[in-house]
A and B are shown apart, each in its own frame.
Chain A
Amino acid sequence: MGFTQERVEDLKTAVAEACINAMEHGNKLDASLTVGVILSVASDGLEVKVLDAGAGPKVGVHPPDIDRKMHGEEASRGMGMFLIQSLVDKAEWVSSPPSGSYVRLVILVDKQ
């Protein structure tokens, strides 16, 4: 599709984080539940939806407070949603009960 290698790396990391969140938080590590990944190609970019059986995140995206993490004042984890949002051009988390929820990522061809 004409993406630079760096954009491909951005997308790989973002999709991997979304899948991990779907398995851990959405499906709560229940191996009988599935995570869906739907890719849709458009003229200006690629859309990826990652679907799980959960209700969607209860909190919004917030940048990590590295000072608090480095001083043991907050959990060192909890950066996945921030990385997803930072690495793609659009990211939205959609709750669609009763079937579950999904995160929709868009990466545009002309962005460097």
Chain B
Amino acid sequence: MEDIGTRVKLEEVNCAGGQISVLRFSGDITSTSEAAILGTYQGIPPETTKRILLDFSKVDYINSSGIALIIQLMYAAGKNNQSIQTFGLTPHFQKVFTMVGITKYTSLHQDEASACAAFGD
């Protein structure tokens, strides 16, 4: 399978009555994505940003090593007392994320609006 690389865009948006950070992933998420994913996450100041959205709507492929990077991101976010909501995974990768148990630590939403709304729960 061709690795077309990972792109991560960091955005600030207004959501659920406050400012949140959104990591918008695109391309493939594999073992080669560490710098893009964890490096971009490390650019989010943990002192001031406590809500993070993960946008997978433009991700073509994720393998188990890529899932491991998402777990590392969530581990780091947990240590920084940040909460994470996730949206945009295809039905197949929603199933895969559920299989490995990630849904115990984040909800998988269909779209950005429902993911945002979940911060208010």
Give the contacting residue for B68; candidates A13, A67, A77; CB below 8 A: A77
Size class of the A contact interface (CB-based, 8 Å):
20 to 34
Q: Please tell me if B64 contacts chain A, counting CB pairs below 8 Å.
A: yes
Given A83-B99, A83-B100 in contact, is the A6-B91 Cβ separation under 8 Å?
A: yes
- CB pair A77–B64 under 8 Å, yes or no, is yes
The 8 closest A-B pairs by CB, nearest first: A66-B101, A76-B68, A9-B92, A76-B71, A77-B68, A79-B64, A80-B64, A76-B72
| B interface SS class | helix
Residue-by-residue, is A39-74 near B (CB-CB < 8 Å gives 1, otherwise 0)? Answer: 000000000000000000000000110110111100
With A70-B74, A79-B64, A86-B99 known to touch, is A16 a contact of B1 (CB < 8 Å)?
Answer: yes
Interface residue ranges, B against A (CB under 8 Å) = 1, 61, 63-65, 67-69, 71-72, 74-75, 78, 90-92, 96, 99-102, 104-105
> Inside 8 A of A63's CB, which chain B residues have their CB?
101
Cβ-defined contact, A79 with B91, below 8 A = no
Q: With A and B bound together, what is the CA distance between A75 and B67 in angstroms?
A: 12
Could you list some 25 contacts between A and B, CB below 8 A? A6-B91, A10-B92, A12-B1, A13-B63, A13-B92, A16-B61, A17-B64, A19-B1, A20-B63, A20-B64, A63-B101, A69-B71, A70-B71, A70-B105, A71-B78, A75-B68, A76-B69, A77-B65, A78-B64, A80-B63, A82-B100, A83-B64, A83-B96, A83-B99, A83-B100
Give the complex CA separation of A67 and B71 in angstroms.
10
Contact of A66 among B63, B91, B104 (CB under 8 A): B104
Q: Secondary structure at chain A's binding surface: helix, strand, loop or mixed?
A: helix
Using Cβ atoms and an 8 Å threshold, which residues of chain A touch B1? 12, 16, 19
A-side interface residues toward B, CB under 8 Å?
A: 6, 9-10, 12-13, 16-17, 19-20, 63-64, 66-67, 69-72, 75-80, 82-83, 86-87
CA distance A9 to B95 in the complex (A): 11
* Cβ–Cβ < 8 Å partners of B78 in chain A: 70-71
